[in-house]
Protein backbone atom coordinates (compact mmCIF):
# COMPACT_ATOMS: atom_id res chain seq x y z
CA UNK A 1 0.00 0.00 0.00
CA UNK A 2 1.41 3.41 -0.93
CA UNK A 3 1.99 6.06 1.72
CA UNK A 4 -0.68 8.19 0.00
CA UNK A 5 -3.33 5.43 0.24
CA UNK A 6 -2.40 4.81 3.87
CA UNK A 7 -2.96 8.47 4.77
CA UNK A 8 -6.14 8.81 2.72
CA UNK A 9 -7.60 5.63 4.25
CA UNK A 10 -6.96 6.88 7.77
CA UNK A 11 -8.31 10.32 6.88
CA UNK A 12 -11.51 8.68 5.65
CA UNK A 13 -11.85 6.54 8.76
CA UNK A 14 -10.89 9.00 11.50
CA UNK A 15 -11.71 12.49 10.27
CA UNK A 16 -15.00 14.19 9.54
CA UNK A 17 -15.98 13.73 5.92
CA UNK A 18 -16.48 17.49 5.43
CA UNK A 19 -12.73 18.24 5.34
CA UNK A 20 -12.48 20.02 2.01
CA UNK A 21 -9.54 18.88 -0.15
CA UNK A 22 -8.38 19.73 -3.65
CA UNK A 23 -8.05 17.22 -6.54
CA UNK A 24 -9.83 13.98 -7.45
CA UNK A 25 -7.39 12.21 -5.18
CA UNK A 26 -6.33 14.54 -2.30
CA UNK A 27 -2.63 15.29 -2.10
CA UNK A 28 -0.87 14.52 1.22
CA UNK A 29 2.20 16.73 1.62
CA UNK A 30 5.40 15.73 3.37
CA UNK A 31 7.84 18.62 3.50
CA UNK A 32 8.58 22.04 2.10
CA UNK A 33 11.47 24.35 1.31
CA UNK A 34 11.08 27.91 0.06
CA UNK A 35 8.89 27.96 -3.04
CA UNK A 36 8.52 24.16 -3.12
CA UNK A 37 6.67 21.37 -1.35
CA UNK A 38 7.03 17.59 -1.76
CA UNK A 39 4.26 15.01 -1.52
CA UNK A 40 4.68 11.80 0.45
CA UNK A 41 5.74 9.93 -2.71
CA UNK A 42 8.61 12.38 -3.28
CA UNK A 43 7.09 14.44 -6.13
CA UNK A 44 8.07 18.13 -6.06
CA UNK A 45 5.62 21.02 -6.63
CA UNK A 46 6.08 24.74 -7.11
CA UNK A 47 3.67 26.21 -4.54
CA UNK A 48 1.69 28.94 -6.27
CA UNK A 49 -1.03 29.04 -3.62
CA UNK A 50 1.35 29.66 -0.70
CA UNK A 51 -0.60 27.51 1.77
CA UNK A 52 -3.72 29.66 1.22
CA UNK A 53 -1.71 32.92 1.20
CA UNK A 54 -0.01 31.94 4.44
CA UNK A 55 3.62 30.99 3.80
CA UNK A 56 4.59 34.61 3.15
CA UNK A 57 8.34 34.07 3.06
CA UNK A 58 8.33 30.51 1.76
CA UNK A 59 8.13 27.12 3.41
CA UNK A 60 10.42 26.59 6.39
CA UNK A 61 12.29 29.85 5.99
CA UNK A 62 15.47 29.23 8.04
CA UNK A 63 15.19 32.49 10.00
CA UNK A 64 11.57 31.86 10.96
CA UNK A 65 12.30 28.24 11.85
CA UNK A 66 15.28 29.28 13.98
CA UNK A 67 13.29 31.94 15.84
CA UNK A 68 10.54 29.43 16.61
CA UNK A 69 12.99 26.68 17.63
CA UNK A 70 14.84 29.01 20.00
CA UNK A 71 11.55 30.05 21.58
CA UNK A 72 10.36 26.44 21.95
CA UNK A 73 13.45 25.73 24.01
CA UNK A 74 12.76 28.69 26.35
CA UNK A 75 9.00 28.59 26.98
CA UNK A 76 6.15 27.46 24.74
CA UNK A 77 3.16 28.84 26.56
CA UNK A 78 2.44 31.78 28.84
CA UNK A 79 -1.15 32.89 28.01
CA UNK A 80 -1.97 36.58 27.91
CA UNK A 81 -2.19 36.59 31.72
CA UNK A 82 1.60 36.97 31.71
CA UNK A 83 2.94 39.53 29.24
CA UNK A 84 5.71 38.20 27.03
CA UNK A 85 8.35 40.22 25.19
CA UNK A 86 7.63 38.52 21.83
CA UNK A 87 4.05 39.63 21.66
CA UNK A 88 4.73 43.19 22.79
CA UNK A 89 7.59 43.42 20.28
CA UNK A 90 5.38 42.03 17.51
CA UNK A 91 2.60 44.48 18.41
CA UNK A 92 5.15 47.31 18.15
CA UNK A 93 6.38 46.02 14.78
CA UNK A 94 2.86 45.71 13.38
CA UNK A 95 2.02 49.23 14.59
CA UNK A 96 5.07 50.48 12.65
CA UNK A 97 3.91 49.01 9.35
CA UNK A 98 0.17 49.67 9.78
CA UNK A 99 -1.62 52.90 8.84
CA UNK A 100 -0.40 55.46 11.40
CA UNK A 101 -3.68 55.71 13.38
CA UNK A 102 -3.78 51.97 14.11
CA UNK A 103 -1.49 51.31 17.03
CA UNK A 104 -2.90 48.76 19.46
CA UNK A 105 -3.30 45.02 18.94
CA UNK A 106 -5.21 42.07 20.37
CA UNK A 107 -3.62 38.74 19.44
CA UNK A 108 -5.65 35.59 18.91
CA UNK A 109 -5.05 32.39 16.95
CA UNK A 110 -6.89 32.58 13.63
CA UNK A 111 -8.63 34.81 11.11
CA UNK A 112 -12.03 33.78 12.45
CA UNK A 113 -11.01 34.82 15.94
CA UNK A 114 -9.60 38.13 14.65
CA UNK A 115 -12.91 38.90 12.90
CA UNK A 116 -14.95 37.98 16.01
CA UNK A 117 -12.73 40.27 18.08
CA UNK A 118 -13.14 43.14 15.59
CA UNK A 119 -16.94 42.91 15.51
CA UNK A 120 -17.11 42.67 19.29
CA UNK A 121 -14.94 45.78 19.54
CA UNK A 122 -17.08 47.73 17.07
CA UNK A 123 -20.26 46.83 18.97
CA UNK A 124 -18.68 47.76 22.29
CA UNK A 125 -17.34 51.06 20.99
CA UNK A 126 -20.41 52.27 19.13
CA UNK A 127 -23.12 50.76 21.31
CA UNK A 128 -24.86 49.63 18.11
CA UNK A 129 -25.45 46.03 17.14
CA UNK A 130 -25.95 45.74 13.40
CA UNK A 131 -23.16 44.97 10.96
CA UNK A 132 -22.96 45.29 7.19
CA UNK A 133 -20.78 42.83 5.29
CA UNK A 134 -20.34 42.16 1.58
CA UNK A 135 -21.90 39.53 -0.63
CA UNK A 136 -19.29 37.01 -1.82
CA UNK A 137 -17.10 37.86 1.20
CA UNK A 138 -15.60 35.22 3.49
CA UNK A 139 -15.12 35.77 7.22
CA UNK A 140 -14.45 32.41 8.84
CA UNK A 141 -16.04 29.32 10.32
CA UNK A 142 -17.61 30.45 13.63
CA UNK A 143 -21.33 31.28 13.77
CA UNK A 144 -20.47 34.98 13.37
CA UNK A 145 -17.91 34.23 10.64
CA UNK A 146 -20.35 32.11 8.65
CA UNK A 147 -23.12 34.69 8.98
CA UNK A 148 -20.83 37.52 7.86
CA UNK A 149 -19.74 35.35 4.94
CA UNK A 150 -21.66 36.22 1.79
CA UNK A 151 -21.74 32.78 0.16
CA UNK A 152 -24.34 30.10 0.92
CA UNK A 153 -21.87 27.29 0.28
CA UNK A 154 -19.71 28.32 3.25
CA UNK A 155 -22.56 28.31 5.77
CA UNK A 156 -23.18 25.04 7.57
CA UNK A 157 -26.80 24.34 8.46
CA UNK A 158 -29.01 27.12 9.62
CA UNK A 159 -26.47 28.95 11.78
CA UNK A 160 -27.46 32.57 11.82
CA UNK A 161 -26.58 35.59 13.94
CA UNK A 162 -29.15 38.35 13.81
CA UNK A 163 -28.32 41.90 12.74
CA UNK A 164 -25.99 41.19 9.81
CA UNK A 165 -26.88 42.58 6.38
CA UNK A 166 -25.07 41.98 3.12
CA UNK A 167 -24.40 44.82 0.69
CA UNK A 168 -23.98 44.39 -3.07
CA UNK A 169 -20.35 43.74 -3.81
CA UNK A 170 -18.24 45.61 -6.34
CA UNK A 171 -17.91 42.64 -8.69
CA UNK A 172 -17.53 44.49 -11.98
CA UNK A 173 -17.15 41.32 -14.08
CA UNK A 174 -20.60 40.18 -12.92
CA UNK A 175 -22.08 43.51 -11.83
CA UNK A 176 -24.97 42.86 -9.43
CA UNK A 177 -26.74 45.91 -10.92
CA UNK A 178 -25.95 44.89 -14.52
CA UNK A 179 -24.14 48.20 -15.07
CA UNK A 180 -20.76 49.04 -16.59
CA UNK A 181 -17.90 50.80 -14.83
CA UNK A 182 -17.26 53.77 -14.87
CA UNK A 183 -20.64 54.90 -16.28
CA UNK A 184 -22.30 53.14 -13.30
CA UNK A 185 -20.98 55.87 -10.96
CA UNK A 186 -20.12 53.03 -8.56
CA UNK A 187 -23.84 52.64 -7.78
CA UNK A 188 -23.14 49.52 -5.67
CA UNK A 189 -21.25 51.72 -3.19
CA UNK A 190 -24.04 54.31 -3.04
CA UNK A 191 -26.51 51.47 -2.34
CA UNK A 192 -24.94 50.91 1.09
CA UNK A 193 -26.79 54.03 2.38
CA UNK A 194 -30.06 52.60 1.13
CA UNK A 195 -29.29 49.23 2.71
CA UNK A 196 -28.68 50.87 6.09
CA UNK A 197 -31.79 53.06 5.85
CA UNK A 198 -34.10 50.24 4.78
CA UNK A 199 -32.83 47.09 6.48
CA UNK A 200 -31.26 48.21 9.78
CA UNK A 201 -32.31 50.38 12.73
CA UNK A 202 -30.52 53.25 10.99
CA UNK A 203 -27.33 53.04 13.04
CA UNK A 204 -24.71 50.35 12.54
CA UNK A 205 -21.77 49.12 14.56
CA UNK A 206 -19.59 48.31 11.57
CA UNK A 207 -19.05 47.65 7.92
CA UNK A 208 -16.65 44.76 7.36
CA UNK A 209 -15.01 44.10 4.00
CA UNK A 210 -11.91 42.64 2.41
CA UNK A 211 -9.96 45.15 0.28
CA UNK A 212 -9.79 42.41 -2.37
CA UNK A 213 -12.11 39.48 -1.70
CA UNK A 214 -10.11 36.31 -1.17
CA UNK A 215 -12.31 33.21 -1.08
CA UNK A 216 -14.80 35.22 -3.18
CA UNK A 217 -12.35 34.89 -6.09
CA UNK A 218 -9.93 37.83 -5.77
CA UNK A 219 -12.72 40.29 -6.64
CA UNK A 220 -11.07 43.69 -6.91
CA UNK A 221 -13.21 46.81 -6.41
CA UNK A 222 -13.03 49.94 -8.55
CA UNK A 223 -10.68 52.50 -6.97
CA UNK A 224 -13.44 54.81 -5.67
CA UNK A 225 -15.47 52.09 -3.97
CA UNK A 226 -14.10 52.24 -0.43
CA UNK A 227 -13.97 56.06 -0.25
CA UNK A 228 -17.69 56.24 -1.01
CA UNK A 229 -18.69 53.43 1.34
CA UNK A 230 -16.55 54.42 4.29
CA UNK A 231 -18.02 57.94 4.26
CA UNK A 232 -21.52 56.40 4.35
CA UNK A 233 -20.59 53.98 7.14
CA UNK A 234 -19.23 56.76 9.34
CA UNK A 235 -22.32 58.88 8.59
CA UNK A 236 -24.49 56.10 10.04
CA UNK A 237 -22.39 55.70 13.18
CA UNK A 238 -20.36 52.65 12.16
CA UNK A 239 -16.68 51.73 12.19
CA UNK A 240 -14.92 50.38 9.14
CA UNK A 241 -13.26 47.00 9.65
CA UNK A 242 -10.80 46.10 6.92
CA UNK A 243 -10.38 42.33 6.87
CA UNK A 244 -6.73 41.93 5.93
CA UNK A 245 -6.53 38.19 6.60
CA UNK A 246 -5.63 37.57 2.94
CA UNK A 247 -4.54 41.03 1.75
CA UNK A 248 -2.24 41.92 4.67
CA UNK A 249 1.53 41.82 5.00
CA UNK A 250 2.52 43.00 1.55
CA UNK A 251 0.46 40.46 -0.41
CA UNK A 252 -1.02 43.08 -2.76
CA UNK A 253 2.31 44.82 -3.48
CA UNK A 254 3.49 48.42 -2.90
CA UNK A 255 1.71 48.65 0.48
CA UNK A 256 1.78 46.56 3.63
CA UNK A 257 -2.02 46.31 3.78
CA UNK A 258 -4.55 45.98 0.97
CA UNK A 259 -6.77 48.82 2.13
CA UNK A 260 -3.91 51.30 1.64
CA UNK A 261 -4.52 51.07 -2.11
CA UNK A 262 -7.99 52.52 -1.70
CA UNK A 263 -7.33 55.88 -0.07
CA UNK A 264 -9.15 55.28 3.21
CA UNK A 265 -8.03 54.53 6.75
CA UNK A 266 -9.87 51.74 8.54
CA UNK A 267 -10.89 52.00 12.18
CA UNK A 268 -9.98 48.37 12.75
CA UNK A 269 -7.95 45.81 10.77
CA UNK A 270 -7.97 42.04 11.15
CA UNK A 271 -5.00 39.91 10.18
CA UNK A 272 -3.93 36.24 10.26
CA UNK A 273 -2.65 33.83 7.54
CA UNK A 274 0.59 35.50 6.28
CA UNK A 275 1.38 37.12 9.67
CA UNK A 276 3.60 34.28 10.94
CA UNK A 277 4.44 32.18 7.87
CA UNK A 278 2.18 29.32 8.93
CA UNK A 279 2.25 29.49 12.72
CA UNK A 280 -1.27 30.00 14.08
CA UNK A 281 -1.76 33.65 14.91
CA UNK A 282 -4.50 36.23 14.46
CA UNK A 283 -4.50 39.92 15.30
CA UNK A 284 -7.00 42.75 15.54
CA UNK A 285 -5.51 46.23 15.48
CA UNK A 286 -7.26 49.52 16.14
CA UNK A 287 -6.75 53.06 17.37
CA UNK A 288 -5.85 53.78 20.99
CA UNK A 289 -9.14 55.62 21.42
CA UNK A 290 -11.34 52.80 20.10
CA UNK A 291 -9.45 50.21 22.16
CA UNK A 292 -10.13 52.26 25.33
CA UNK A 293 -13.82 51.39 25.04
CA UNK A 294 -13.05 47.77 26.00
CA UNK A 295 -12.01 48.87 29.49
CA UNK A 296 -14.69 47.90 31.98
CA UNK A 297 -16.82 46.30 29.24
CA UNK A 298 -16.32 42.76 30.59
CA UNK A 299 -13.61 40.14 30.86
CA UNK A 300 -12.02 38.46 27.85
CA UNK A 301 -9.08 36.11 27.38
CA UNK A 302 -7.37 34.11 24.64
CA UNK A 303 -5.43 31.14 26.06
CA UNK A 304 -3.26 30.72 22.97
CA UNK A 305 -3.48 34.35 21.78
CA UNK A 306 -0.06 35.94 21.38
CA UNK A 307 1.63 32.56 21.96
CA UNK A 308 5.40 33.12 22.41
CA UNK A 309 6.34 30.69 19.61
CA UNK A 310 3.84 32.06 17.08
CA UNK A 311 4.81 35.65 17.88
CA UNK A 312 8.53 34.80 17.59
CA UNK A 313 7.71 33.43 14.14
CA UNK A 314 5.64 36.55 13.36
CA UNK A 315 8.52 38.85 14.26
CA UNK A 316 10.98 36.84 12.17
CA UNK A 317 8.51 36.75 9.25
CA UNK A 318 8.17 40.54 9.12
CA UNK A 319 11.94 40.97 9.44
CA UNK A 320 12.52 38.60 6.52
CA UNK A 321 9.87 40.40 4.47
CA UNK A 322 11.58 43.72 5.12
CA UNK A 323 14.87 42.26 3.85
CA UNK A 324 13.84 39.90 1.04
CA UNK A 325 10.19 40.31 0.14
CA UNK A 326 9.03 43.83 0.85
CA UNK A 327 5.92 45.33 -0.81
CA UNK A 328 8.05 46.88 -3.59
CA UNK A 329 9.44 43.47 -4.50
CA UNK A 330 5.92 42.01 -4.46
CA UNK A 331 4.70 44.79 -6.79
CA UNK A 332 7.57 44.12 -9.19
CA UNK A 333 7.13 40.35 -9.48
CA UNK A 334 3.35 40.78 -9.25
CA UNK A 335 3.42 43.01 -12.35
CA UNK A 336 5.41 40.36 -14.18
CA UNK A 337 2.91 37.69 -13.19
CA UNK A 338 0.00 39.90 -14.25
CA UNK A 339 1.54 40.70 -17.63
CA UNK A 340 1.98 36.96 -18.26
CA UNK A 341 -1.59 36.18 -17.22
CA UNK A 342 -2.90 38.96 -19.48
CA UNK A 343 -1.07 37.25 -22.36
CA UNK A 344 -2.77 33.96 -21.47
CA UNK A 345 -6.11 35.82 -21.56
CA UNK A 346 -5.39 36.76 -25.17
CA UNK A 347 -4.64 33.11 -25.99
CA UNK A 348 -7.29 31.08 -24.17
CA UNK A 349 -11.02 31.80 -24.47
CA UNK A 350 -11.71 29.78 -21.34
CA UNK A 351 -10.24 32.73 -19.40
CA UNK A 352 -13.02 35.28 -18.83
CA UNK A 353 -11.28 37.70 -16.49
CA UNK A 354 -7.89 38.32 -14.91
CA UNK A 355 -7.84 40.49 -11.77
CA UNK A 356 -6.05 41.25 -8.54
CA UNK A 357 -3.00 43.09 -7.27
CA UNK A 358 0.59 42.13 -6.49
CA UNK A 359 0.92 38.42 -5.78
CA UNK A 360 -2.84 37.98 -5.40
CA UNK A 361 -4.01 37.33 -8.95
CA UNK A 362 -7.18 35.55 -10.02
CA UNK A 363 -8.31 33.97 -13.27
CA UNK A 364 -12.07 33.56 -13.69
CA UNK A 365 -12.78 30.65 -16.03
CA UNK A 366 -15.91 30.67 -18.20
CA UNK A 367 -17.51 28.33 -20.72
CA UNK A 368 -17.66 31.24 -23.16
CA UNK A 369 -16.96 34.93 -22.80
CA UNK A 370 -20.45 35.94 -23.98
CA UNK A 371 -22.58 33.98 -21.51
CA UNK A 372 -19.90 34.02 -18.77
CA UNK A 373 -21.20 30.65 -17.62
CA UNK A 374 -18.78 29.40 -14.93
CA UNK A 375 -16.40 26.77 -16.34
CA UNK A 376 -16.47 24.39 -13.38
CA UNK A 377 -15.42 21.29 -15.35
CA UNK A 378 -12.56 23.14 -17.02
CA UNK A 379 -11.16 24.39 -13.71
CA UNK A 380 -11.23 20.84 -12.31
CA UNK A 381 -9.28 19.76 -15.40
CA UNK A 382 -6.82 22.64 -14.94
CA UNK A 383 -6.17 21.53 -11.37
CA UNK A 384 -5.32 18.00 -12.46
CA UNK A 385 -3.06 19.25 -15.29
CA UNK A 386 -1.13 21.68 -13.08
CA UNK A 387 -0.74 18.94 -10.47
CA UNK A 388 0.76 16.64 -13.12
CA UNK A 389 3.10 19.43 -14.22
CA UNK A 390 4.21 19.99 -10.61
CA UNK A 391 2.47 23.18 -9.49
CA UNK A 392 -0.06 23.90 -6.73
CA UNK A 393 -2.78 26.52 -7.27
CA UNK A 394 -5.90 27.62 -5.40
CA UNK A 395 -9.57 27.90 -6.17
CA UNK A 396 -12.31 30.37 -5.19
CA UNK A 397 -15.43 32.21 -6.23
CA UNK A 398 -19.11 31.65 -5.54
CA UNK A 399 -19.18 29.22 -8.46
CA UNK A 400 -15.76 27.68 -7.73
CA UNK A 401 -14.48 28.79 -11.14
CA UNK A 402 -11.73 31.23 -10.13
CA UNK A 403 -8.07 30.18 -10.03
CA UNK A 404 -6.35 31.82 -7.08
CA UNK A 405 -2.66 32.49 -7.66
CA UNK A 406 -0.81 33.58 -4.54
CA UNK A 407 2.75 32.29 -4.30
CA UNK A 408 5.07 33.12 -1.40
CA UNK A 409 6.22 36.75 -1.51
CA UNK A 410 9.84 35.67 -1.97
CA UNK A 411 8.95 34.59 -5.54
CA UNK A 412 11.66 35.51 -8.03
CA UNK A 413 11.35 36.46 -11.69
CA UNK A 414 12.39 32.87 -12.53
CA UNK A 415 9.66 31.38 -10.32
CA UNK A 416 7.04 33.54 -12.07
CA UNK A 417 8.34 32.59 -15.54
CA UNK A 418 8.37 28.93 -14.55
CA UNK A 419 4.76 29.13 -13.31
CA UNK A 420 3.59 30.99 -16.42
CA UNK A 421 5.09 28.28 -18.63
CA UNK A 422 3.21 25.60 -16.70
CA UNK A 423 -0.02 27.61 -16.90
CA UNK A 424 0.46 27.94 -20.65
CA UNK A 425 0.81 24.16 -21.09
CA UNK A 426 -2.08 23.40 -18.72
CA UNK A 427 -4.47 25.92 -20.30
CA UNK A 428 -3.61 24.60 -23.78
CA UNK A 429 -4.57 21.08 -22.66
CA UNK A 430 -7.79 22.32 -21.02
CA UNK A 431 -8.80 24.45 -24.00
CA UNK A 432 -8.12 21.56 -26.36
CA UNK A 433 -10.34 19.22 -24.34
CA UNK A 434 -13.35 21.56 -24.43
Segment 198-217, which members bind ligand PLP (CB under 6 A)? 210, 214-215
Q: Does 310 bind ligand PLP (CB under 6 A)?
A: no
Q: Does 243 bind ligand PLP (CB under 6 A)?
A: yes
Segment 245-264, which members bind ligand PLP (CB under 6 A)? 245-246
CA distance 226 to 261: 10
Segment 135-164, which members bind ligand PLP (CB under 6 A)? 138-141
Task: Select the span of 92-100, 132-140, 251-259, 388-396 touching ligand PLP (CB under 6 A).
Answer: 132-140
Task: Select the span of 111-119, 220-228, 342-350, 366-374 touching ligand PLP (CB under 6 A).
Answer: 111-119
Q: Does 401 bind ligand PLP (CB under 6 A)?
A: no
- In the complex with ligand PLP, the residue whose CB is nearer, 108 or 401, is 108
- In the complex with ligand PLP, the residue whose CB is nearer, 110 or 307, is 110
Q: Does 111 bind ligand PLP (CB under 6 A)?
A: yes
- In the complex with ligand PLP, the residue whose CB is nearer, 355 or 381, is 355
Of 56, 86, 112, 411, the residue at the interface with ligand PLP (CB under 6 A) is: 112
Do 221 and 357 form a contact (C-beta atoms < 8 A)? Answer: no
Q: Does 54 bind ligand PLP (CB under 6 A)?
A: no
- In the complex with ligand PLP, the residue whose CB is nearer, 99 or 140, is 140
Task: Select the span of 188-196, 238-246, 259-267, 365-373 touching ligand PLP (CB under 6 A).
Answer: 238-246
**Distances in whole angstroms, Cα of residue 160 to Cα of each of 142, 145, 149, 203:** 10, 10, 11, 21
- In the complex with ligand PLP, the residue whose CB is nearer, 99 or 248, is 248
Q: Does 317 bind ligand PLP (CB under 6 A)?
A: no
Q: C-beta of 93: minimal distance to ligand PLP in Å?
A: 20
Q: Does 110 bind ligand PLP (CB under 6 A)?
A: yes
**Helical pair 85-97 and 308-324, crossing angle rounded to 10 deg:** 40
Q: Does 375 bind ligand PLP (CB under 6 A)?
A: no
Q: C-beta of 215: minimal distance to ligand PLP in Å?
A: 5
CA distance 80 to 67: 20
Binding site for ligand PLP (CB under 6 A): 110-112, 115, 138-141, 210, 214-215, 243, 245-246, 272
Amino acid sequence: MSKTSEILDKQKKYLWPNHLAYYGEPLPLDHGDGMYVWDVEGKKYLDFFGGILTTSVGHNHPEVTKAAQQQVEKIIHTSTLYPHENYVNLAEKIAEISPRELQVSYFTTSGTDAVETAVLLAKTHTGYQEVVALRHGYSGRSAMGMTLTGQAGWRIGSTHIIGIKHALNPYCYRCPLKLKYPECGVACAEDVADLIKTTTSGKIAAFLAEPIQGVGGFITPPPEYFEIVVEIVHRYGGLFISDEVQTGFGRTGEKWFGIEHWNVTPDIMTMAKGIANGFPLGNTITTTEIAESTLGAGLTISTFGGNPVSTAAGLATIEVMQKEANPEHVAEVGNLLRAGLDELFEKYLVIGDVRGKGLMQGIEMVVDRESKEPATKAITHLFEETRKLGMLIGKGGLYGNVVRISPPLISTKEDIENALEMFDVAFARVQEAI
